[in-house]
A and B are shown apart, each in its own frame.
Chain A
Amino acid sequence: MTERTAHPPPEHSLPDGFLAVRAAEGDEDAFAVLVQRHGRPLLALARGMLGNPQDAEEAVQDAFVSAWRRLPEFRHTAEFRTWMYRITVNRCLAARRRRRPPSLPLDTAPEPAAGDVRSQPAPCAEQDAAVAALSRALDGLQTGQRLCWILREVQGLSYKEIAHMTRTSEQTVRGRLFRARRSLQEAMSPWR
């Protein structure tokens, strides 16, 4: 039975916890709202972790499908979002382990052209190149630093949430974040 009821869908106003309960009981429409709500930040997370859009999309897709299958066992002790982040991060880490050695040696990375940045031809291409440089710099970070930086700067999570998610202390999170910022800032300095 896949026909729709005549009632307007109330799912969009429901909190994640309610949607997760409904989805666990087989309500795909509830799950579709969760995918809609969390897909974009998870894609940004995976792109930061993996460096390229195709791998990121694959990791997030796998994570959502895995979440759908595991929802009946989800005990709601964590928020759905936190749970989903964990699944996605684990998918990304697995994808990185599979694709050793690193895809792009540092010395083949294009360098920014010398001179006044504002006089460069295409700002869009310039920005793409800067993002590519950032992705490479991220790729060179230790896993914990990369993850903390992405969760803070790309996802906007609090130190507390990051500590909880990565099972460490807030102080460790702040230390990793600092070292990540320092490395990334140095790597990006030729682009000023």
Chain B
Amino acid sequence: MALDDARARPATPARPPAGTPPFAGDEVLPCGRLLSRVWEQARDAAPAADPHTVSCPHCREAVEALATLDAATRALRAVDAAAHHALAGRVMNTVRTEVRLGRLLPVADPDQDLRMTERAAARVLRAAADAVPGARTASCRLAPEGADAGVRVTMTLAAAPDRPLPDRAGEVRRSVLHSAGQDLGLALTAIDITVVDLLTPDPPPHPGPASGAVR
């Protein structure tokens, strides 16, 4: 990245001695505070964290000088929802023309010599694993194994810690095995499951929009 002026300077105490500003172009206010620190505090600290800046007219004036910039910044931050929506649509249109199909897998119907893409199978098996309460799939890879149209599944998932992991992994395995046979006609030789993260328990039904059920 083309970044410039990388001269790091030593750490700044809250009130450095006057005459040694830590940043080029910094300014010592009449009250002895550095302009850079007053601005940082106004941004980063709780309003009442420093009684001085609340009562000091110089500090107040320095902070108020940012008001116009702040108003314009707020407007800059507000991205039009329609623009975002249109952008997401264009991105996904392109993405859907560049599908990654993955490996070709044998379907367990030797007479017809059918094949299915890994991507299509993984979509169905992820959904089968996710249908188990307290389980969420990350990776789901499938590969042909053996001579008889066998397929091996390797999954990573996050599981809620409210039950022993082997129980839940067993439930996921059963759900995946059932779906592979019933929905896809795949003959699985093995389902390898690695639990890579823990979920907080599923929220109650009909949660609000911020229903992140993770970590």
- List of B residues within 8 angstroms of A178 by Cβ: 23, 25-26, 35-36, 39-40
- List of B residues within 8 angstroms of A2 by Cβ: 96
Contact of B136 among A14, A39, A144, A179 (CB under 8 A): A14
Counted as pairs of residues, one from A and one from B, with CB atoms less than 8 Å apart, the total is 205
Instruction: Identify which of B4-12, B145-153, B161-169, B185-193 touches chain A.
Output: B4-12
A130 at interface, CB cutoff 8 A: yes
A168 at interface, CB cutoff 8 A: yes
- List of B residues within 8 angstroms of A61 by Cβ: 87, 90-91, 94
- Nearest-neighbour CB distance to chain B for A59, whole angstroms, equals 10
Instruction: Identify which of B47-55, B104-112, B126-134 touches chain A.
Output: B126-134
Q: What's the tally of chain A residues with a CB closer than 8 Å to chain B?
A: 75
Q: What's the tally of chain B residues with a CB closer than 8 Å to chain A?
A: 77
Where the two chains meet, the residues of B that have a C-beta atom closer than 8 Å to any C-beta of A are 1-12, 22-26, 35-36, 39-40, 43, 65-69, 71-73, 75-79, 83-84, 86-88, 90-92, 94-96, 98-102, 116-120, 122-124, 126-127, 130-131, 136-141, 156, 158, 197, 211-215
A selection of 23 A-B contacts at a CB cut-off of 8 Å is: A1-B119, A15-B214, A18-B197, A26-B122, A27-B122, A28-B96, A39-B91, A57-B83, A127-B72, A128-B75, A131-B72, A131-B76, A133-B72, A145-B5, A154-B77, A166-B1, A174-B12, A175-B24, A178-B35, A178-B40, A181-B39, A185-B66, A191-B68
